[in-house]
Each structure stands twice: as structure tokens, then as C-alpha cells.
Amino acid sequence: MNRVASLFLPQLPIERLRAEERPFRPPEPAQQAAAALAPPIDDNPGACSVPRGGGWRPGARWARDGAIVAKPSQADIDRLPAHQRPTMREMGRRSEAADPPFRTLPGDDGRSSSSKAPPTLTWANLWGTPTILIERSGQKEVVTAACLQALELGLNPDMAAAHARALVAGLEVLDAQPEADRMWLDRLALHAVRKWTPTAAVSGPDGLWFDLTGTTHLFGGEERFCRRLLGFLKRLGFSATIAIAGTPGAAHALARHGGAPIILLPPGHEAEMLGPLPLAALRLTPGALTAAARFGLERISDLYQMPRGPLARRLGLATVERLDQARGMVAEPIIPVIPFEKPGVTRRLLEPIGTPESITQVISDLVDDLVPVLRLRGLGARKVALWLDRVDGEVQHIGIGASRATRDAKHLKRMFALRLAEIEPALGIEAMHLEVPHSEPLGASTVAALLEDGAQRPDLAPLIDQLIGRSGPTALFRLASHESDVPERAIKRVGPLVEPQGWPAWKRPTRLLARPEPLRNVVALLPDHPPRRFTWRRQDYRVIAGDGPERIHGEWWRRPGELWAVRDYFRVEAEGGARFWVFRRGDGVDGPTGDLSWYMHGVFG
């Protein structure tokens, strides 16, 4: 069962510009309403011709030609249009009430925890100036977006900017920025991919699509997800509506023409809910809408009973396709945004190739095409994959790796030359693709790093990459310390260019056996003395010096058997100069700590 959500931001261009002009958070509706109902504050400014406690001031709108008029009543102010009402300072209010320090925080879904619903205020009430966005179209300027207050005054998109200025005085006119709006939607889609759903796409200049199939239970259901999403946008200063349906077309239509902030459409009811909506909800072309108006078609339900052939001839084949997509009869794919697109290049061949020389030449051309792509994006390749499309339909894959991010064309070609023997062209290769599944940021190198300097350490990365290409990815490694008390667990393998860190301060043997080997014929004094004699690998050793013990306890959180386990390690030197690292299981006092058997664990020197 598919579930698709459509997010509609009707005032995106206006609200985005206002958010940039006013970076701080706008006041909450409850605070704005309380400040509007609060009495004016008398700051006692001292001797002044302006009456304290409110009223007019010299130069205000209420003082005309120096005539002193009485203070207007609140009823007179309320009868004025919103954009003509006096501001706080014009009414003589020198300060406003501060925010309460213990204001109740809103919940995760954007709803306030108080039972009393706050009064609804729009961005137009908060800003007080009607605003439109214009864009030049040919020789005239056209309105592309208008705020809610401008819409109430009769200003609509696609209106001439000169006509809008003539209708409303004091109109704030700004330039439209469609590219910035698109970038903001792309950022929101990437945020949705990281936080809400793995599939999100931009649906035009004012909305997004979310594929919520199998994801809404993580947020407590579809309704709670919608409330949280709208609350998130409200905190950013954006108004939005959202609808969830079984098809992208139905969700898109209900989000823009449904008449409610949140609409949840059960599966299988798309045709019933879409019937009363206007034809513009189907995303038809202007020509199709004009033709539908000529034939008297106003609602989507008017198209249900019409035969497909006449409908396609009159309104176009795209109208039939949109209608079927909205009702779920035809699939409508959502092209999702990809947080990171892997760099890649492709070469399609006119004729199949199969000789080593031709394959090498095409690989060289692919690498030369890939390096500028990596340089343009500021990346370096760590893994490069080569895909070969053969004539018989099989796809062969060959990959190389780099121990350090690189975009050196010569080095990459040399690495592929080492793997050339693994390519099986069969009947021929007709296409070759080169992509970088793993990359890292790689900036420009300084000029001093390119000069020959005896004090500078040579770069071993190309040599290591070639050795790995010849012997295998696990042939070269370094040893580094690992957080563990047990010696055989305290060492791990790392990459050949990784600097080992965190080595313990106490002495450890040069060669540590993978598994401790038991000792035979051990003679030792308990509990704190090293062995005097022992036999290891069928050879007898007589100890002339020893140091220890170093007690190591087992890691009880790994296995229950190590709860009381104890090892006493000794460094001993045998006749002939050989030095060993041996240990005894148990402390020599308590039986549960070990069976007092001896083991060889390492060799010094």
C-alpha cells in the first residue's frame, strides 16, 4: 500500500525573503495577542509636550497641519485596513511588554500545551505592509507572488506590476528569486531524506513529495507526522498544508485545493475525493484549462463520464494521463533527490572491442574524463569501479582502491593496468563505465609540496597502492593498539598509511604468538616466582633471570568463564640469551582463578 505526502508552501517566496530580512524568531501568536491587548506603558519620560501614557505625538498621522485632535478610539483604529493602522510608536507607546520567562513550550507536533487555543495571526499581521514579488517578462513587469494581505486587497499573481502599484499605495515591491526558492526546496528535501523518509522529491516551485510507505509508524502515525512537519515549518516562519494519499497526483491536488491544513485520504477513495475539486488540481496545461472552460468543464468529476477518445481530442492526451495518475490507474514515478551523486563517466563504443590495446586505450580515455569531474567537485577517489557491458549481455566489474584520496590520472591508469588480465571480453565489449563509489574531499596542493626537498618525507601512497594491486588488499597492514586488557586482543590491523597510536607504556614482546602455547616440565616456586626450567617445542630451557609477575585479569563482560580468570606474566631469560614472555594461569592461591598451567605467549628480540 503506497502512501505519498504532498507538502504545499503557498507563501514560500514571500516568507523566505522575510525570514532573511528578519533573522530572529517572530513573536508567538499568543504573545502578539497579549501585547496588543495590554495597556500602554508609561515610561515617565519627564517634561515633554507629548502626553504621557499614549496619545498622539508631533508628526504622527493623527496630527494634521499642526492641529491638535483628540486621541482616536480603539474602534476607529479597528475599522482601518491592516496596512493603514498606526504602529506602536505612532500611538505613543515607547516600549512593549517583555516575553514571559516561563512561557509554556510547544510540543513536538507544534501544538501548544495550553488548553486555550491562541488567536490566529498571519505573517501579514506581523509585518503590516502588503508585499509582492515581480519578475520581468518581456517589456513589462509581472507579479509572481503576493502576501496574504496583498491578496486580500485584490492583488493576484500574473497581474501587471504597474496595475498593482496603482491599486495599493505604499506597496512593498521586491524582485523574485526563483533560483533561491528552488535551492531552499532542495535543502528541505535533503533534510527530509536524512530525517523523515528515504524518498523525497521537489514537486514544482512551491512544494515537495514524500514517499511515506512504511515510515509513518516511526513518528506515531500519519497524523502525528503531519503535525510535527507543520510545526517544524512554523518554527522556521513558513505556512504550509499537507495531504497524504495513495497517489502523488491525489496528494498534490488535495494539498492545494483540499481546504484543510492536514488531509489524510484512505486508500481507494481517490476518485471520490477528487471529484469536487477544480480541473486546475490535475496540473493541466493552460491550453487544456482554456479548452475545458470553453466546453463547460469545471470539476474533475465532469471528466469521469466522458469517453476517452473525445476527451483526449478536446483536452489533450496529457489530461487523460493526469486523470489516470491521480486515481491510481497509471503509475507516476517520483524522482527522488540524492544526497550525494557518485562521480562517473561513460564511453559507448561504435563497435565491440576485445584486444588488450583497445581496452587500455578506452580505460585511459575514461580516466582522463573522470579527473576533471573530480577536480570540479573538489574530490579525490578512494575506490574506482570499472563496469564493462559485453555483447552477450553480461556485465563485468573490476575495482581498484587507493590508500589515500587521489585524482592523479597516471596513478589510476597504472592501477588499472595491473588488473587488465582479469578482464574477459568474450564476444566483445560495447560500453564501459567508470564511477567512484568512495571519495573524499581533496583540495589543492601547495607549490612547496611539489618541489624536490631532501627534508620532505616521500609519499608512499602510490607504492603501497601498486603493492596491494599485485599482492591483494590484505597483504599490507600495520599493527595498532586496541582497548583490551588481554594481550592477544589488544592488537588490531589498520591500513598501511595509518599512524598507530595509543601503545601501552609497559614492555611487550617483539613477536606475540597468535595463540599461547603450553609449556611442559615446568619447575617454579609458587606463587610469585618465575619458572626455573621448562620445555617448549621439544626443547629444554634453563632460566637464569626473570622479572614479574604482571597480573592481568580476564574480561568478565565478554565471557562468564573470565569472571575469576587471572594470568601472571613473567619476562624470563634462558641460557644462551633467549628472552621469553610466559604466564601462569591462576594466582597460585585461589583455585577458581586458574589451574596453574604455564604457557608461552611471546618472544623478545
The whole-angstrom separation of Cα 232 and Cα 30 is 18
For residue range 231-256, what is the model confidence (pLDDT) as tens digits? 999 999 899 999 999 999 999 999 99
The whole-angstrom separation of Cα 597 and Cα 585 is 6
The whole-angstrom separation of Cα 131 and Cα 148 is 9
State the pLDDT at residue 252.
93
Q: Residue 508 in contact with residue 500, Cβ under 8 Å?
A: no
- Residue 394, exposed/middle/buried by CB under 10 A (0-12, 13-18, 19+)? exposed
Domains of the chain: 130-169 (no CATH), 180-327 (no CATH), 344-439 (3.30.1490.100), 511-604 (no CATH)
Residue 311: alpha-carbon gap to chain centroid: 44
Q: Residue 478 in contact with residue 494, Cβ under 8 Å?
A: yes
Three-state DSSP at 210 gives: strand
Lookup result for grid cell 594481550: 487
The total of other beta-carbon atoms located within 10 Å of residue 343's CB is 20
The whole-angstrom separation of Cα 230 and Cα 220 is 15
Q: Residue 193 in contact with residue 200, Cβ under 8 Å?
A: yes
DSSP 358-417: HHHHHHHHHHHHHHHHHHHHTEEEEEEEEEEEETTS-EEEEEEEEEEEE--HHHHHHHHH
- Virtual CA dihedral for 119, 124, 128, 131, nearest 10 degrees? 180
Give me the percent of the chain exceeding a pLDDT of 90: 40
Kindly state the helix (H) or strand (E) to which residue 428 belongs, with its residue range: none
- Consecutive sets of 10 residues in the chain, 605 residues long: mean pLDDT of each? 90 88 54 49 44 44 44 70 62 51 47 44 54 87 89 89 88 90 92 90 91 90 93 92 93 92 91 91 91 90 89 90 90 85 90 92 94 91 93 91 88 90 90 92 65 62 81 80 85 82 78 91 90 94 92 89 91 94 91 92 89
Kindly report the length of the chain.
605
The whole-angstrom separation of Cα 490 and Cα 484 is 5
For residue range 274-318, what is the model confidence (pLDDT) as tens digits? 999 999 999 999 899 999 999 889 999 999 888 988 899 989 999
Task: Of 599, 452, 584, 569, give the one whose Cα is nearest residue 526.
Answer: 584
The whole-angstrom separation of Cα 400 and Cα 496 is 16
